[in-house]
Amino acid sequence: MVHERLLRADKTALAEAFALHRPRLWRMVNFRMDRRMVGRVDPDDVLQEAYLAAASRIEHYAGGGFNSPFLWLRVIVRQTLIDVHRRHLMAKSRDAGREVAMFATYPQATSASMAIHLVGDWTSPSQAAVRVEMLDRVQGAIATMNPVDQEILALRHFEELTNAEVAETLGIEPKAASVRYMRALRRLRVILSDFPGVLDGARDG
C-alpha cells in the first residue's frame, strides 16, 4: 500500500500518491487561492512547489500520525499556498499581509472563496455588474456563520472531502462532523434564501 511505503519514506510512493490525488489538490488550490493572484499564479505551479516540499519532508509522514496520504499532501499544499500568498501579497502592502494571516486560519478567506464560487456558478459572464453586487451580499451573509461551520462547508461542498476526511482534518469525531455539516448547510440555505439556485447541487449527508 502507498501508505505503508510512505511510512518508509519511499519517494516512488510519493509520486504515485501525488499523481492519484492531484485533481483533488488542484481543486483545493483553485478554491483557496486569493482572486488577486488569478492570472499571475497558476494552481499547477503551486502544486509543483508543494510536491517538492513533500519530497523534502517525506520523513515527516511517519511521525505525523496521518492515515491518509491525501490528507498529508493536502496539509503541505495548503502550507505552500499560504507561502505563495505571502510572497505575492505581503510585498504589496501590510493590509494584504494581514489578509494572508487570516487565510492561514478560517474566516475572511473562506467566506470570500465560498462567495466567489457560489456567485460565479450562479451568474453568467455577461452579468458582471450583478456578480459584483452579489459577491458583497453573499460574502456578508456567509461571514455571519460560525468560522468552523464555514470551514466544514468549504471542505465538504467545495473541496469535496468525505465526512471522514473532514473529521480527521478538523480533529473531531465523524458523527460530529456529519451533524455539524448538516446544521451548517441548513443555516447557509436560510441565509442565502434571497438567492434561489445558489446552492443547487449542495450535498446532503
Identify the pLDDT of residue 97: 41
154 versus 36: which is more confidently predicted?
Answer: 154
- Separation between Cα atoms, residue 179 and residue 145, nearest integer Å: 16
- pTM summary value: 0.81
Question: Which range, of 31-45, 89-103, 138-152, 181-195, averages the lowest pLDDT?
Answer: 89-103
Cβ within 8 Å of residue 180, ≥6 positions away: 148, 149, 152, 172
- Separation between Cα atoms, residue 156 and residue 170, nearest integer Å: 12
The pLDDT tens digits of the residues spanning 165-180 come to 999 999 999 999 999 9
Identify the pLDDT of residue 89: 79
The pLDDT tens digits of the residues spanning 21-30 come to 999 999 999 9
